[in-house]
Chain A
Amino acid sequence: EIVMTQSPATLSVSPGETATLSCRASLSASSNLAWYQQKPGQAPRLLIFAASTRATGIPARFSGSGSGTEFTLTISSLQSEDFAVYYCQQYNNWPITFGQGTRLEIK
């Protein structure tokens, strides 16, 4: 099983600044990595798939990078609606596995 580890657990950033979230895989996930955003009381929303491809309707301020075991989600010019919990997920191997999440909070 590929274990996904996200860091930090909580990230405090001011609106307008840039947030950098990390996700590490215990084995190579190639580029088969997705990022999701989840707000309280809502279902997750797909942001990024294939490590760096934005999903339909996702603003350009969200970008993903990395391959193998190291991945990054960068959110530039943070807006109030971006403060949420973010999860990475690998789908390179069964079982599919998620990271534990990073909570992005307003500083």
Chain B
Amino acid sequence: DIQLTQSPSFLSASVGDRVTITCRASQGITSYLAWYQQKPGKAPKLLIYAASTLQSGVPSRFSGSGSGTEFTLTISSLQPEDFATYYCQQLNDYPITFGQGTRLEIK
């Protein structure tokens, strides 16, 4: 199984801040990585796939980068609606695995 480790697990930031979340894979997965946003009581929402492709309708302040084993999700200027939990997911092989999540809270 491909293990995904996100860092940090918890992040406190302010509106307008630039934040970066990292996802490390236990083996190389080229660009086969996606990012999801989940708000309390809601299903996860796809933000980015193929490491850097923005899903339709997702604001351009979200961006993704990386390949191989290290990936990042960046939010360029935090908005109030961005405070949520973020998960990475590998798209390389079964079994499907997710990172443990990064909780982004308002400072």
Asked if A and B are interacting partners, one says no
